[in-house]
Structure 1
Amino acid sequence: MTDTGWTTERMPDMTEKTVVVTGANSGLGYEVTRALARKGATVVMACRRTNHAKTVKGRILTEVPDATLDVRELDLADRESIRSFAENFEADYDNLHVLCNNAGVMAIPRRETEDGYEMQFGVNHLGHFALTGLLFDRLLETPGETRVVTQSSGVHERGDINFEDLHGEQEYDKWDAYAQSKLANVLFAYELDRRLDEAGIDNVLSLACHPGYASTNLQRRGPEQEGSRIRLWMMRLANAVFAQSAERGALPMLYAATGEDVMGGEYVGPGGLMNMRGLPEIQPSSDRSYDEQMADRLWEISSDLTGVTYDFAQAKAADDD
């Protein structure tokens, strides 16, 4: 495959479009927010650290003075925070054109969310599963086409879903847990697309994407939490030698969110060297990510764990009315 030649210069005008970006205060989320703001979108910056997000908002406003940016608190490791965010968003916004499920944690020592779930699986997958479900009605009710774009990683290719030990209570490896969560992201994106299609709902698209190897703060958090100066130094060296910029790494998500020729159920990533860098293209994901039985089982477990259900039949009936 070759890349599409797509850059932010080819993004459509996003004026009067409302976009939610999780983890908008740094790295890929910051670059996605900045690019959308340049195109006129109203961007809701859903962040755990709102003070830092407000600083970042000010930085974007110096570059795009007329940008419409709304900082709101969202902790994807806390079910109550997710529900509160969704309720407040729906109270204040009539439309949601794009939901960018971007935030995540990577290769950290074992920790648990507020609800007792392994942190990487809890934040990267369960948090976004719950958020999407709670905003599902708003996506459906918004006139025209809407999209859910879920950020995965090339590391998903080594991932598997360990249904017997989802939360690493029996055995934990930080990279295996990360790979599991990133595979879960792709499985979720595809299963959501299938369920929308089966329900005859054609105004909502669900896609997955990955940034390749992009230099962000994400890589340093694991070594910092472990207190490993050697790993931190090695990560910085690898970023300097191999990684593309966060601005380039944001292109697959932006293409999935705004590209005029994408379809639901697709996977977008950089089209250059080993899919680690370059401009975005449609790519295949891992064989395991297309396992429909695994995806269905993961969906039902995720619904049980989060307490969030998606009523596709009712949504279709409302759409028909």
Structure 2
Amino acid sequence: MAPRTTALPLPELTGTTAVVTGANSGIGAATTLALARGGARVVMACRDLGRAERTAAAVRRAAPKAEVPPVRLDLADLSSVAEAAEEIGETSGGVGLLINNAGVMALPERRTADGFEMQFGTNHLGHFALTARLLPYLGAGGPARVVTVSSLAHRMGRIDFDNLNAEHGYGAWTAYGRSKLANLLFTAELARRARLAGLGLTAVSAHPGLAATELGQAGPRMAGRAWAARMKRATRLFTQPASAGALPVLLAATDPAAPDGAHYGPAGPLECRGGAGPARLSARAKDPVTARRLWDVSAALTGVGPGLEPA
């Protein structure tokens, strides 16, 4: 597949309902705007409804016909995930596209409302539970697609089933890499199970390369390291804007030739920036045994059965 340097033109998306988590800023906001311009109704699933409303207003200014209803979703609270999925299902009917984009990165050690390590709980378990709860609505009006946003950092990730929740030591970047690797293993196993179940559901993933977003500033701020936050801002000189980082996500969301389990990223050197095209997965991201075990562990931890029987 030749690399694409632009996400446009998107296919006709009128009549498609898309759900984008973390749609109020960064990659999520850029993705929301592009999908809305393409005619999709985009549900903005965000933790902060005030920020979501402001972003929705900006989207409507850029695309006056855009339908971008916000829904409150806190991925670090499984009760919020359940409420958001119910609201989306009741107001949307069918969902044609789910983009699991929201995330946290390299935070000081924190716990979710349910006691999980914050990065694993938010980036992986929250999206696992959301996808599971939306499964009855995915594809209700035709073929559906789930895009899960990972990171180049997945390559340093390892799934340690004895320390998923950092009970035996915590490293901010170790936990982040683990959560991003979990995103890819989840994608592979979702694709496998949906295929075996005969569902019209395609599961793919993407990463934005090095994109200038707010994601990298939260950790230093929470740790009280103002100098580190300033360094993060300085790195914007070497990164691409969120609109460019969104290109692989949009390609993953709309490429009609995307096979199950496909992975997209920037097409430039080292997949850091530039265009969009197929991206490389680490060997650990392609381990089917770990993917199946992680799926079972995730279902047990969240108490949410995705309704796809193991095979």
> Given the alignment, which residue of 293, 296, 310 partners 2:306?
310
Q: TM-score, normalised by structure 1?
A: 0.94
State the alpha-carbon separation in 2 of the partners of residues 214 and 40 from structure 1: 26
Aligned equivalent of 2:269: 273
| Residue 202 (structure 2) pairs with residue 208 (structure 1) | no
Task: State the shift of 1:198 in Å.
Answer: 2.1
Deviation sequence 1:267-295 (CA, Å, 0-9, x none): 11011011000111112200001111111
The residue number in structure 2 matching 1:52 is 51
Task: Please give the secondary structure, in 1, of the residue aligned with 2:248.
Answer: helix
Query: 1: CA distance between counterparts of 2:167 and 2:309?
Result: 36
1:1-321 correspondence to structure 2 within 5 Å: 4-143=3-142, 145-201=143-199, 203-240=200-237, 242-312=238-308
Q: CA deviation at 1:6?
A: 4.7
What letter matches 1:165 in structure 2? N
Decide whether the 8 Å contact of 1:3 with 1:272 is kept in 2. Answer: no
1:319 corresponding residue in structure 2: none
* CA–CA distance in structure 2, aligned partners of residues 90 and 78 of structure 1: 19
**Secondary structure at the counterpart of residue 43 of structure 2:** strand
Assess if the C-alpha contact under 8 Å between 1:79 and 1:115 holds in 2: yes
User: Is the CA contact (8 Å cut-off) linking 1:3 and 1:271 kept in structure 2?
Assistant: no
State the 1:136 CA deviation. 0.4
Deviates more, 1:111-120 or 1:4-13: 4-13
Q: Is the 8 A contact 1:97 1:139 kept in 2?
A: yes
Q: Counterpart of 2:211 in 1: which secondary structure? A: coil
Deviation at 1:140, TM superposition (A): 3.6
Q: Structure 1, residues 247-272: CA drift from partner, whole Å, max 9, x if none?
A: 00001111111122212111110110
Distance 2:204 2:183 in 1: 10
Secondary structure of the 2:56 match is helix
Which whole-Å deviations, capped at 9, do the CAs of 1:65-98 have from their partners, x for residues lacking one? 1110101100001111010111111111111010
Q: CA-atom RMSD, angstroms? A: 1.3
CA distance in 2, matches of 1:170, 1:108: 17
Shift in Å, 1:3: 5.1
State the shift of 1:200 in Å: 2.7
Structure 2 spans left out of the alignment, 5+ residues: none
CA contact (8 A) 2:46 2:74 kept: yes
Instruction: List structure 1 runs of 4+ shifted beyond 4 angstroms.
Output: none
Letter of the 1:205 counterpart = T
Which digits, 9 at most, give the CA deviation of each residue in 1:17-75, with x for residues without a partner?
10000000000000000111111110000000001110111111111111101011000
**Post-superposition shift, 1:156?**
0.1
In structure 2, C-alpha distance between the alignment counterparts of 1:311 and 1:115, rounded to whole Å: 22
Whether the aligned pair in 2 keeps the contact of 1:6 and 1:255 (CA below 8 Å) is no
The count of aligned residue pairs is: 310
Measured in 1, the distance between the counterparts of 2:14 and 2:152 equals 32
- Structure 1 window deviating more from structure 2 (133-142 vs 115-124): it is 133-142
Partner secondary structure for residue 136 of structure 2: helix
Change over 3 Å in CA distance of 1:142–1:216 after alignment to 2: same
User: In 1, Cα distance between the equivalents of 2:243 and 2:268?
Assistant: 15
Fraction of identical pairs, as percent: 44
State the Cα distance separating 1:141 from its structure 2 match.
2.2
| Higher helix content, 1 or 2 | 1
**For 2:27, what is the secondary structure of its paired residue?**
helix
CA distance, structure 2, for counterparts of residue 138 and residue 261 of structure 1 = 23
Cα distance, 1:312 vs. partner? 2.8
Q: Is the 8 A contact 1:3 1:278 kept in 2?
A: no
Secondary structure of the residue aligned to 1:137 is coil
Measure the CA separation in 1 of the matches of 2:28 and 2:285: 24
